[in-house]
Structure 1
């Protein structure tokens, strides 16, 4: 009876090893040229270049999982850009502007813009915070926007997985 139990345990362990999860593949990291359309204001374009660091493990499996990603968002004239990081399921970046808001007397006051967007729904919010330098009460102006894919980047970006040399410790490129 003990031999049967040991054999059954061995079969269960072997089955679990064979049926284990396949290597995880990362979702496509957002890249390309997009049309930025705010609910109010002037539309423009965002050119988004991703920059990621691959997962480093024991190098026995292909490196599929990008981590530490940043999206360099380059805005067209009049459209805010910055380096977005994934925070709480949304990409976000903050951009301070010295001449962010024109006052009623024609002078300019500083603002801080916080942009958050979801790469699944392709929508987000641009929040402009001002501290009341123009004689107005301090406030935050929230403007929703959408993104629409327009075209690929003019310069290709290498995708994952990295190609690694066979063997123990390997170089990956």
Structure 2
């Protein structure tokens, strides 16, 4: 019994001691060409702002889940702050003048944008509540992304400094 317990504890200690420091996953940044199906291409300027994930309190983990992607869009596209949700980056943006009505007036919409940084594809769902006399609905537009160029000014992905121990408070 004692030997079994000692062997178990030795194995646990070996596993804990062999834990490797986390490697930083690449997070996208730069200027990207966005091409919607049946629409005019535009650009997104994407830059991340990340916080190290707590991990096991010994070593900070630099994972995309601790990041927020700031998306600045050119005319005709919608920008916002995206977070990683279900393997895709997603953000929601309400727009006061999102849809032009048949009479020329404008109605509010809510845009839900999701994109995958691996496949470089995404969707934009424009939700409207029928203010134009039309039935409420969701218009889904697929788009592709292509890297165009690096940011004009580099950004610090991890602008916060986290204390080395305890609860890893960041400031």
Query: How would you bin the TM-score normalised by the shorter chain?
Result: 0.7 to 0.9
Equivalent-residue separation in structure 2 for 1:168 and 1:114 (angstroms): 38
RMSD, aligned α-carbons: 3.3
Equivalent-residue separation in structure 1 for 2:17 and 2:56 (angstroms): 21
Equivalent-residue separation in structure 1 for 2:149 and 2:120 (angstroms): 15
- Structure 1 residues 12-21 or 102-111, which shifts more? 12-21
Contact map agreement 1:23 1:64 (CA 8 A) in 2: no
- TM-score (structure 1 length as normaliser): 0.79
* 1:161-172 alignment runs, 5 A limit: none
1:73 partner SS: strand
Equivalent position of 2:27 in the other structure = 29
Contact map agreement 1:38 1:143 (CA 8 A) in 2: yes
Equivalent position of 1:84 in the other structure = 82
Equivalent-residue separation in structure 1 for 2:11 and 2:64 (angstroms): 31
Deviation at 1:18, TM superposition (A): 8.4
- TM-score (structure 2 length as normaliser): 0.80
Deviation at 1:117, TM superposition (A): 0.7
Equivalent-residue separation in structure 2 for 1:14 and 1:140 (angstroms): 53
Equivalent position of 2:101 in the other structure = 103
Aligned residues: 168
Greater gyration radius: 1
1:42 aligns with 2:37: no
